[in-house]
Structure 1
């Protein structure tokens, strides 16, 4: 089990939309979010807010960033990467391709929603049927996966 991960805004939103905080708990002891991410999460009232609030101060921990790096990314991504570096947390939770590239260039490892559900499938915490249901639900809830990548994912999970 990874100890801690720092997340950007969209990953927390998708964890809530898919109602899979439990799957993240199989991998991480806690998800740390910068104050900037917490502000973005609660800027709008959404159905996911209740799920997020239930996890706040329990599994989802808000921390202040001392100095935010000047990166050409959104505020939440900049703050999350900066928090990883400040607290020497090597794992960054994000599905933003550009943010993941910057994180890697700074020596961080990245994981996204797909990685979380794949690890749970590999570790037999969920079935292949549940994995496919979650993947399809994630796409229905607004995440884009190219048809080619979708086919590759389905081919990859055949071995599980």
Structure 2
């Protein structure tokens, strides 16, 4: 499992970074993503750095050097996921589109919550609270998608 920057920062801010470890055992990020997430004096950066130090977030470099017309982080993790034939956790719309065009399976931060719910790591109420906190942190979910997510929760 490979992750882009924003899912790591958001999960860390919500106090749920470890959910990635619980779901996937380890996560791979690129050097570029590491540089983006490790900003001094931010609590979420410290949590991510601890996960790197504990070696469940691993930093790898892509052998492929190609400009996909995206930010450095998105560019590098898409190339890494393509190279490793692995799933990518990414929220950036342009990044999602590019990854899909290359046949890379993707998850979004919201998908992580639903996987955690399915594995009984969190319950429905916690999932709703996490979705709302995600929005409070600036994550954009179109109203129709938010309604679909809530409907999906009611089905479970």
Q: What TM-score do the two structures reach when normalised by structure 1? A: 0.89
For residues 83-141 of structure 1, what are the alpha-carbon distances to aligned partners after superposition, in whole Å with 9 as ceiling and x for unaligned? 1223x232011011211111111121000110010111122221111001111111111
Given candidates 29, 32, 51, the residue that maps to 1:33 is 29
Q: 1:17 aligns with which of 4, 13, 21?
A: 13
SS at match of 2:25: strand
1:63 aligns with 2:60: yes
RMSD: 1.5
The equivalences for 1:87-98 within 5 A come to 88-98=84-94
TM-score (norm 2): 0.92
Partner of 2:74: 77
2 CA distance for matches of 1:125 and 1:48?
21
Match of 1:140 among 117, 130, 136: 136
Pairwise mapping of residues 99-118 of structure 1 onto structure 2 (< 5 A)?
99-118=95-114
1:53 and 2:49 matched: yes
How far apart are 1:28 and its partner, in Å? 1.0
Q: Is the Cα contact below 8 Å between 1:7 and 1:32 reproduced in 2?
A: yes
Gaps of 5+ in 1: none
Q: Is the 8 A contact 2:64 2:79 kept in 1?
A: yes
Query: Are residues 1:150 and 2:124 paired?
Result: no
Task: Give the paired residue count.
Answer: 155
Contact 2:38 2:49 in 1 (8 A): no
Distance 2:95 2:63 in 1: 19
Partner Cα separation in structure 2 for residue 123 and residue 143 of structure 1: 24
Q: Hey, what's the Cα distance between the residues in 1 that align with 2:57 and 2:15?
A: 14
Gaps of 5+ in 2: none
How far the C-alpha of 1:21 sits from its partner, in A, is 2.1
Higher helix proportion: 2
| Greater than 6 Å deviation, 4+ residue runs | none
Higher strand proportion (structure 1 or 2): 1
